[in-house]
């Protein structure tokens, strides 16, 4: 299917695997996986995806600048971004000493008071570098604010961190004491 819109496909699959699997007749396991065939069969019932092949999933993933999904052993899952009620199980990892979070100016006073909260998602999303954080922040504000997160210190003090992909780290909450405005 040469004219396939991979961006649209990525958004559709993000929606299915992060936010509303039941709308696609899918049930994620505790780690967020579903059978690739089940996802394909479900999407194929929609006219726009009726000819969808597994190779389209691979092509969609390699055409993207972000690693949003993982395929392994005939299964696929979203690596981050989930909002579904049941939390996806992740292994805690040792984070880099400093992580970054790009956000909107209008959220800043609330963040400095309450810390970083997951809001609509299961986890707060943090970035490994300022450039990625800027991109994330620009989704909310054309002049985003960058926060430095003392991740190493938070981890030493007992906070669990989880890895989404090479650029994205996840955490349940970041207390204001670990935040500094860049």
Site residues (vs ligand HQG, CB under 6 A): 66, 68, 81, 103-104, 107, 110-111, 114, 116-117, 119-121, 125, 136, 139-140, 168
Smaller CB distance to ligand HQG: residue 41 or 151? Answer: 151
Q: 68: how many CB neighbours lie within 10 A of its CB?
A: 22
Q: How far is the CB of 61 from ligand HQG (least distance, A)?
A: 12
Q: How far apart are CA 61 and CA 58, in angstroms?
A: 5
Nearer to ligand HQG, 21 or 81 (CB): 81
Q: How far apart are CB 111 and ligand HQG at their closest, in Å?
A: 4
Which residues, 6+ apart, have CB-to-CB distance to 129 below 8 Å?
100, 167
- In the complex, least distance from residue 119 CB atom to ligand HQG, rounded to whole angstroms: 4
Q: How far is the CB of 58 from ligand HQG (least distance, A)?
A: 18
């Amino acid at each position: 299917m040469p004219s396939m819109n991979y961006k649209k496909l990525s958004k559709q699959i993000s929606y299915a695997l992060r936010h509303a699997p039941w709308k696609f007749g899918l049930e994620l396991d505790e780690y967020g996986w579903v059978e690739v065939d089940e996802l394909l069969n479900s999407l194929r019932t929609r006219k726009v995806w009726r000819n969808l092949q597994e190779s389209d999933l691979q092509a969609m993933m390699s055409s993207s600048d972000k690693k949003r999904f993982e395929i392994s052993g005939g299964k696929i899952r979203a690596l981050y971004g989930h909002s579904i009620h049941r939390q996806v199980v992740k292994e805690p990892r040792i984070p880099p000493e400093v992580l970054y979070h790009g956000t909107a100016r209008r959220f800043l006073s609330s963040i400095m008071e309450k810390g970083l909260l997951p809001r609509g998602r299961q986890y707060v999303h943090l970035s490994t570098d300022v450039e990625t954080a800027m991109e994330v922040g620009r989704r909310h504000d054309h002049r985003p604010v960058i926060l430095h997160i003392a991740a190493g210190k938070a981890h030493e003090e007992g906070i669990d961190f989880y890895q989404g992909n090479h650029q994205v780290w996840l955490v349940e909450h970041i207390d204001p004491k670990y935040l500094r405005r860049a």
